[in-house]
């Protein structure tokens, strides 16, 4: 772990966490969404159209009791 820390400090010039790299610029330390947006937004083309995310599949609850498909329906 110490070797990775030294590599981060020496090779990548990290000075703290979190560290973000935006288009070659290093942003270090606690940043608000507004500060990150100020760095990122000018890089987004004016004609950029975001794609809608795919519909999410509901997660199954692994701790929920299993349903018995053979049991009669409740009335």
Q: What integer pLDDT is reported at residue 11 of this predicted model?
A: 82
Sequence spans of domains, the chain:
16-41
Output the DSSP codes for 9-65: HHTS---SSSEEEETTEEEES---HHHHHHHHGGGS-TT--PPPPPPPPPPP-TTSP
For residue range 28-70, list pLDDT tens digits in order: 888 999 999 999 999 999 999 888 888 877 767 667 666 665 6
Output the DSSP codes for 55-69: PPPPPP-TTSPPP-T
Kindly report which listed range (17-21, 23-27, 52-56, 64-68) carries the lowest average pLDDT score: 64-68
- Give pTM, 2 decimals: 0.50
Q: What integer pLDDT is reported at residue 15 of this predicted model?
A: 72
């Amino acid at each position: 772990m110490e070797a990775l820390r030294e590599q981060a400090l020496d090779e990548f010039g990290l000075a703290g966490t979190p560290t973000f790299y935006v288009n070659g610029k290093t942003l270090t330390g606690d940043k608000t969404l507004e500060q990150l947006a100020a760095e990122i937004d000018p890089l987004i083309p004016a004609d950029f159209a975001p794609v809608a995310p795919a519909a999410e599949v509901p997660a199954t609850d692994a701790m929920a009791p299993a349903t018995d498909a053979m049991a009669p329906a409740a009335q």
